[in-house]
Amino acid sequence: MKRILLNNIPLELPPEIARLVEGSAIYDSSCSPEARVYFIDRDGGYYLKTALGGSLEREAQMTAYFHSLGLGTEVLYYSKGERDLLLTARMRGEDCTHAIYLDDPKRLCDTLAEQLRRLHETAPIGCPMPNRTAEYIAMVEENYRTGNYDKSQFPDSFGYRSAEDAIRVFDEAKSLLKCDTLLHGDYCLPNVMLDNWAFSGFIDLGNGGIGDRHIDLFWGAWTLWFNLKTDRYRDRFFDAYGRDKIDESMLRVIAAAEVFG
C-alpha cells in the first residue's frame, strides 16, 4: 500500500480526529480518484477516508458489521456531510499486493480462495445490506440505459463484442442470481489484509452485503489475472475455493454485468 508523506490533511477536521493528527506523521494512501485516504502514524496507526457526502455510509455500516464478525477493522468515527469522514484502526500486516505475497503466487492464490470460502460460509445474521442482488441488477440495468459500458479491464475470455451482447446474456440469466451469501463485493488483492500470511481482515467493504457468491468469485479470479499478469491461476483458485459451490456459467453472467461498471 503506497504512502506519500504530507505536511497536513487539507480538510477541516472535527476535534476527535484533529487531536490524532496533531504531531503525527501523515501520509496519503489513496488508490482511487473517488476518495482520499490518509494514514495517521500514531498509536499503531489509523486510516482516515474522505469522499463525497453520503458515499461512505454503506462502507461504514459494513465495516462495523464485518468487525462484529471478527472479519474487519473497527470503525472509530463516521460523519456524513458535504464530505464524509470515516476513521478506522489500522489492521495488522499488509494487503495482498505486497511483494511478500506476490512473490509466492500459488500460496497467494490458495489463501485468497480459502479466505473467500470462509467468508461465504459465515452466517449473515443482522447484515445491514440484506439484498445486494436486487441492487446489483438495478445498477446493471441503469448503467446499460446510460451507456456506461467498458470491457477493457477484463481478459478476453470474459469480454463481449458489444453492450447489447452483454445485456442479452445478463437479462436471460439475472433471475438465477441468488441472495444467500455474505459478500465482500470488491474481492481484490488490495482489499485482503494478511500479517505474514495470517488473515487480518477485509477492507473497502462499501459494496458488501448479502448476494450471489459468483460476484466475489469473478473478482477473485480477475484480481489474480490483473495483479499476477497471467490467467494461469484461475482454475487453481476455483479448485481451492471448492468446485462444489461454483457454477461457471454464472461467472459469464457476472462478467456480462461487470462490463457495465
Q: Which residues are catalytic?
A: 186
Q: What cell does 6 get?
A: 504530507
Helix residue ranges, H only, 156-212:
163-173
Which residue reads 479491464 in cell numbers? Answer: 153
Closest CA to 26 of 10, 72, 35: 10
The answer to whether 96 touches 192, Cβ cutoff 8 Å, is: yes
Which contiguous run of DSSP H or E holds residue 129? none
Helix residue ranges, H only, 121-212:
132-145, 163-173
Helix residue ranges, H only, 69-162:
99-102, 105-120, 132-145
* DSSP label of 200: E
